[in-house]
Amino acid sequence: MEKTLIDQYGRTLNYLRLSVTDRCNFRCYYCMPEEGVNFVERKDLLTYEELEYLLAIFSEYGVNKVRITGGEPFVRKGIMDFLEKMSRMQGINQITVTSNGTLDRDQMIILKRLGIKKINISLDSLNRQRFFEITRRDKFDEVFQCILDLLGMGFDVKLNAVVADKKNISDILPFIELTKAYDLSVRFLEEMPFNGSGSFEVPKWNHVVLYEYIAAAYPNLIKLSDEKNSTSANYRIPGYKGSFGIIASFSRTFCGTCNRIRLSATGEFRTCLYGPANTNLRDVLRSGASREELIREIVLAVAKKEKDGFEAEARQAEAPKKSMSFLGG
The answer to whether 273 and 258 have CB atoms below 8 angstroms apart is no
For residue 73, what is the DSSP state?
G
Give the Å distances, CA to CA, from 159 to 147, 244, 311. Answer: 9, 9, 29
Write down the least CB distance from residue 209 to ligand SF4, Å.
20
Which of 124, 126, 140 lies closest to 177, judged by CA? Answer: 126
Position closest to ligand SF4 via CB: 309
The answer to whether 211 and 196 have CB atoms below 8 angstroms apart is no
Write down the least CB distance from residue 234 to ligand SF4, Å.
16
Is the Cβ of residue 46 or residue 312 nearer to ligand SF4 in the bound state?
A: 312
Which of 231, 5, 45, 218 lies closest to 120, judged by CA? Answer: 231
Write down the least CB distance from residue 271 to ligand SF4, Å.
7
Write down the least CB distance from residue 315 to ligand SF4, Å.
11
CA 329, chain centre distance (Å): 4
Is the Cβ of residue 77 or residue 310 nearer to ligand SF4 in the bound state?
A: 310
Write down the least CB distance from residue 273 to ligand SF4, Å.
4
Is the Cβ of residue 63 or residue 258 nearer to ligand SF4 in the bound state?
A: 258
Task: Burial-class residue 49 by CB neighbours within 10 Å (0-12, 13-18, 19+).
Answer: exposed
Is the Cβ of residue 15 or residue 82 nearer to ligand SF4 in the bound state?
A: 15
Measured distance CA(326)–CA(45) in Å, rounded: 11
Write down the least CB distance from residue 311 to ligand SF4, Å.
8
Is the Cβ of residue 299 or residue 314 nearer to ligand SF4 in the bound state?
A: 314
The answer to whether 67 and 17 have CB atoms below 8 angstroms apart is yes
Is the Cβ of residue 47 or residue 279 nearer to ligand SF4 in the bound state?
A: 279
Is the Cβ of residue 36 or residue 62 nearer to ligand SF4 in the bound state?
A: 62
Interacting residues toward ligand SF4 by CB under 6 A? 252, 254-255, 258, 260, 272-274, 308-309, 312
Q: How many residues does the chain have?
A: 329
b/e per residue 80-103 (b: at least 16 CB within 10 A): eebbeebeeeeebeebbbbbbbbb
Measured distance CA(176)–CA(201) in Å, rounded: 26
Is the Cβ of residue 155 or residue 254 nearer to ligand SF4 in the bound state?
A: 254
Helices (H), 88-163: 105-113, 128-135, 140-152
Write down the least CB distance from residue 191 to ligand SF4, Å.
14
Write down the least CB distance from residue 129 to ligand SF4, Å.
33
Task: Burial-class residue 151 by CB neighbours within 10 Å (0-12, 13-18, 19+).
Answer: middle
